[in-house]
Structure 1
Amino acid sequence: MKAALAGVLLAVAAPSAAAGLQPSQFGALAFRQHPGAQVPLDTVLLDESGRKVRLGLLLDGKPAVFVLEYLHCPNLCGLVLAGLVRDLKAAGLQPGRDLQFVAVSIDPHEGPEDAARARTAYLGEHANPAGWHFLTGPAPTVRRIADAIGFRYRFDKAIGQYAHPAGFVVLTPDGRISRYLLGFEHGPAALKTAVAEAARDQVEPPAHPLLLLCFGYDPQAGTIAYTAMQALRIAAFGAVAALVLYVLAALRRERTR
C-alpha cells in the first residue's frame, strides 16, 4: 500500500517542464543488468575533503552498497539515498564494519563541497562517517563506472536535469556486481539479505525489469500525451481523495463501536 501510494503521489507531484527527452526514449535509460561484472577498481575519484581515492581501496575487503546519483537531483535520488540510510540503520548494518556505502555523483559539476554537505544532510553532523563515502569526479571517469554497472543516464538541457534509472547495486568484496535492487523502496530485510549474499561472493540473477526513471517529464500542452498526462493526474488526485475518505470513514466507524 505504501509503495502504491508513493507512486500516486509522485505522479501527482511531477514537475512541469517541456522536456527535450521524449517518452519513446525512456526505454534506453533502463538498467542494463550485468550480474557478476567487475566494477573498475582502479578508478580514482574525489572524496568529501577533496582527497583522491582509489575505488578498490575504499572497499577494504567488504561488500558495498553502490549508488550512482546526483546530489542536486529534484526527483527520486533523495528518496533512494534517504531510504538506503534508513534501511541500513534498521537492518543493524554499520558501514565501515559490515560494508561500505559508496555514492558517486553523475554530475561533473558537483564537487567535494557538495559531497560533504550531502553526507552531513543524510547522516547528521555527529554520525560516525567511517564507511560512508560520497564521491565526485570528471564525466569520463564516472561514465566508465556507469557503463560497467549498466547504468544509463543523459542530461536534458531543456529542463536542466539528468534522466536516469532509480536503483543501486550491491558489490562483492572484490568489486563484482552481486545484485541489482531497482526502484527506491526495498526494506531492511531485503537489504540485509543482499549484503550477506555479496559478502559470500554470491552473484544473483538479474532483477525483474523495472523502468522507474528519476526525471521530471511533462509533455507539451496541446498534444495527446499532454491530455493523457492531465487525465492521469486527475485520476491520481481522485484516488488520493478516495483513500482519505475511506480512512476517515473507517475511523468514524471505529469510534462509534
Structure 2
Amino acid sequence: MFFVALAWLELNAPLLRAQMTGAPTAGYKLEPGITSSTMPRPLREIGFDQNLDQYVPLDVPFRDESGRTVRLADYFGSRPVVLVFAYYDCPMLCTQVINGLSTALNLLSLAPGKDFEIVTVSFNPRDTPATASAKKAVYLERYTRDGAARAWHFLSGDEPSIDRLTKAAGFRYVWDAETKQFAHPTGVIVLTADGRLSRYLFGIEYGPRDLRYALVEASAGSVGNAADTLLLYCYHYDPMTGRYGFVVMRAVRIAGAATVLALVSFIIVMVRKEKRAASLS
C-alpha cells in the first residue's frame, strides 16, 4: 500500500506542486505565436542568474529604514538570510513578491530573528529611508510574529552599492523609459549565514514547505528539526523551477530500511520470548 501511495504522489507531483506553490504545471506554454523576438525588449533583459554557492559582497554600504548607514554584513553571521529585491513605489510586482513572502512567513513555525533574518533591498537609487520605513510599516501589519520588527530590514542605497549586490546575486533588471518603471524578475533568495547564495525561489507565491527547506539547508541543519533533515532526503531542490520536488527512490530506500528494521526488531522480540518460555518450562 505504501508503494502504491508513493507511485501516486510521483505521478501527481506536478499538479500538487502547482497547487502548493502557484507554479504552472509541466507542459505550460505561452500563447501561440509569442516568441522571444516579439517579447518587449525590457522583458528579454531581465531574469535571475543563479549564482549558487557564490558569495555576495557583505561590505556593501546601505541605509536602513531609520537612516542609519549599515553594511550588508550587519545582517549576516549567525543565521540564514532571506533576501528580497524590491523598489518601494513599485505599482505591482514588488508588492506581490513581498505579499507572497509575508504569507509564507506567517505559516512557518521558524522564528524571525532567531532562525533567520529578512533583508529587503531597493534597487531604485531614488528610494530613501523614509520610503523604506513606510514600506516596512505596511508589512509589519501583515507579518505579526514576535521579533519581526527586529528581523525584517528595509534598505536603500546609491547606484554603485545596488549594482554590486544585484550583479553578485544574479538579479537582472532594467529601467523601462516608456512606462517609467523598472522591469524585473520575481522571486526571493535564501543565503547562508556567511553570505553564500544557497537557494532561489521564483514567482510571487512561495510554498511554506519550499521556504522552510531552503532555510534548513542554508543553515546546514542548525535550523529546524530531525524531521526536516529526514524529509530533505526525500525532497530535492530543482534549480530550473526554484522548487523542491519529491524523489521517489529516496523515499523507497527509507521505507525499505524501515521495513528491514521492523523485521529485525520483530525477530529479536520473538527469539527473546521463546528463550523466556523455554527457561520457564
Residue equivalent to 1:89: 106
Residue equivalent to 1:183: 203
Q: Does 1:170 align with 2:202?
A: no
1:208 to 240, 243, 254: 240
Q: Does 1:57 align with 2:74?
A: yes
Provide the alpha-carbon RMSD of the alignment: 2.7
What amino acid maps onto 1:26 in structure 2? L
Residue equivalent to 2:90: 73
Tell me the distance in 1 between the aligned counterparts of 2:132 and 2:80. 22
What amino acid maps onto 1:166 in structure 2? T
What amino acid maps onto 2:98 in structure 1? L
What amino acid maps onto 1:130 in structure 2? R
Tell me the distance in 2 between the aligned counterparts of 1:4 and 1:105. 25
What amino acid maps onto 2:132 in structure 1? A
Tell me the distance in 2 between the aligned counterparts of 1:61 and 1:134. 19
Unaligned runs of 5+ in 1: 6-20, 211-257
Alignment of 1:125-164 (within 5 A): 127=144, 128=147, 129-164=149-184
Q: 1:63-119: CA deviations, max 9, x gaps?
A: 000011111111211111111112112112222111010000001111101111111
Q: Percent identity?
A: 39
Tell me the distance in 2 between the aligned counterparts of 1:141 and 1:60. 20
Deviation (angstroms), 1:23: 2.2
Cα pair distance change 1:194/1:126, threshold 3 Å: closer
SS at match of 2:120: strand
Deviation (angstroms), 1:206: 6.4
Tell me the distance in 2 between the aligned counterparts of 1:26 and 1:120. 31
Cα pair distance change 1:91/1:126, threshold 3 Å: closer
- 8 Å CA contact retained: 2:81, 2:192: yes
Tell me the distance in 1 between the aligned counterparts of 2:110 and 2:173. 30
Deviation (angstroms), 1:54: 1.1
Unaligned runs of 5+ in 2: 1-17, 25-37, 223-235, 243-281
TM-score normalised per structure 1: 0.69
Cα pair distance change 1:152/1:125, threshold 3 Å: closer
Residue equivalent to 2:60: 43
What amino acid maps onto 1:165 in structure 2? P
What amino acid maps onto 1:208 in structure 2? M
Deviation (angstroms), 1:183: 0.9
Cα pair distance change 1:206/1:153, threshold 3 Å: farther
- 8 Å CA contact retained: 1:170, 1:180: yes
Cα pair distance change 1:176/1:93, threshold 3 Å: same
What amino acid maps onto 2:174 in structure 1? R
Q: 1:27-68: CA deviations, max 9, x gaps?
A: 321211110110100011000000011111212411000011
Cα pair distance change 1:156/1:184, threshold 3 Å: same
- 8 Å CA contact retained: 2:102, 2:142: no
- 8 Å CA contact retained: 1:34, 1:206: no
Residues paired across the two proteins, number: 195
1:105 to 96, 101, 122: 122
